[in-house]
Amino acid sequence: MLRDGAQPTNSAKLAVPVLQPSGDLIALGHVNALLERFPQLKNFGLTPTAFNAGSLIAFYAEVLPPYYEPAEGAHIRNALSRLRDQGGDAALASAIEWAIAVTELQSNNPDVPRFCGMTRNTKRSGRRISRQ
């Protein structure tokens, strides 16, 4: 519209470029690598795209331990760390730190427990730490 209210005679519309987000192609590559390495994950029937790859990575991280034994210890440690981060109870925090150290020993990753002064012979509440 012009100042005096008249319509312009040449009403050519300008094309407004629409930016299409491309998603996360790196995450998509990671998802595809997970599906290649762990074909059991394909049984969920989820189709990865660059737009859902981040969510799929998080999901696969949650469900991978039953399919890949070395992931089990890390999965448990992460769950314990999330619980610890919720905070609040000092007694619970101490028990969580102990459980994380035990998990490290059971996963044959003795660096963290050693840092805490633990060994396989360390006892708590009369129980010796052992591999399950």
Q: What is the DSSP string of 60-110?
A: HHHH-TTT-THHHHHHHHHHHHHHHHT---HHHHHHHHHHHHHHHHHTT-T
- Mean pLDDT per 10-residue interval, the chain, length 132 residues: 58 55 88 95 94 93 85 86 84 86 78 54 49 42
Domain that holds residue 34: 23-68
pLDDT of residue 68: 85
pTM over 0.85: no
Domain annotation covers residue 31: yes
Residue 57 shares a structural domain with residue 80: no
Residue 126 is predicted with a pLDDT of: 47
Q: In this predicted structure, what is the pLDDT of residue 114? A: 53
> What pLDDT does residue 110 have?
60
> 85 and 132 in one domain?
yes
pLDDT of amino acid 130: 47
Residues whose CB is less than 8 angstroms from the CB of residue 65 and which lie 6 or more positions away in sequence, other chains included: 71, 72, 75
- What letter does residue 116 receive in the DSSP assignment? T
Distance CA 89, CA 105 (A): 25
Give the model's pLDDT for residue 88.
73
Residue 128's H or E segment, with its range, is strand 127-128
